[in-house]
Amino acid sequence: MEKRTSEVTFKGGPVTLVGPHVKVGDKAPDFKTLNNGLAAVTLADTPAKARLFSVVPSLDTPVCSLQTKKFEEGVAALGDTVASYTVSLDLPFAQKRFCGTEGIKHMATLSDVHDQSFGKNWGVLIEGLPLGLLARAVFVVDKTGKVTHAEYVKEVTSHPDYDAALAAVKAVA
């Protein structure tokens, strides 16, 4: 498995990411995650329309919480023209609790806790931390399965470019 060093930092220190650097124009990599009902979800299980994948280290942190809420607001206006997901290594139970508490209705959650296939296939799994985490990233995939936007946030504790991601998803919605 490919490993990339010094592409992103976590709290100022460089970290190693496992997996490829997914770029605009690439075919969206497959994955196998769990939804908050514990059902398996793969790329093929997501609808063939514009898809936003917002990747966060943990929903129980301020930046991740805000990221999910900002994208929730941004995709709400797009209705059913887009499918949107927050992906993390949080347990499905914690993701469900978060969404219920915060009133998240448009951003479905996907837990990569089982085998980290999203993290490995999309190149966001951080290696070497005491606790497994995904690097902060945002991907937009069009209805044909092509990546049209890819942002690996340089510092994991920083915010992504919300405007660029929402513009990208609107462009393919």
Mean pLDDT of 4-9: 93
**pLDDT confidence of residue 71:** 96
- Sheet containing 13-18: which strands, arranged edge to edge? 3-10, 13-18, 125-127, 133-134
Query: Over 90: is that where the pLDDT of 67 sits?
Result: yes
Domain with 65 in it: 3-172
- Residue 6, phi-psi category: left (phi > 0), alpha (psi -120 to 50), beta (remainder): left
Q: What is the pLDDT of residue 51?
A: 97
Res. 68: pLDDT tops 90: yes
Q: What is the pLDDT of residues 28-54, one digit of tens each?
A: 999 999 999 999 999 999 999 999 999
Determine contact, residues 102/110, Cβ cutoff 8 Å.
no
How far is the C-alpha of 44 from the C-alpha of 162, rounded, in Å? 26
* Mean pLDDT of the residues in the chain: 96
* For range 78-104, the mean pLDDT: 95
In the predicted structure, residue 1 carries a pLDDT above the cut 90: no
Alpha helices in 40-91 (DSSP H): 62-76
pLDDT category of residue 86 using cuts at 50, 70 and 90: very high
Digit-coded pLDDT (tens) for 162-172: 999 999 999 99
Catalogue the active-site residues: 64
CATH number at residue 78: 3.40.30.10
Contact (CB, 8 A) for 124 and 118: yes
99-116: average pLDDT: 95
pLDDT band at 105 (very low <50, low <70, confident <90, very high): very high
CA atoms within 13 A on the CB side of 157: 7
pLDDT at residue 118, as a whole number = 98
Q: Which value, to the nearest 10 degrees, does the dihedral of the CA atoms of residues 151, 122, 29, 62 take?
A: -70
| Number of separate domains in the chain | 1
Quick one: pLDDT at residue 6?
A: 85
Task: Name the CA radius of gyration of the chain, rounded.
Answer: 14
The values of phi and psi at residue 17, to 5°, are: -100, 135
Task: Specify the pLDDT at position 123.
Answer: 98
146 token code pair: 């092509």
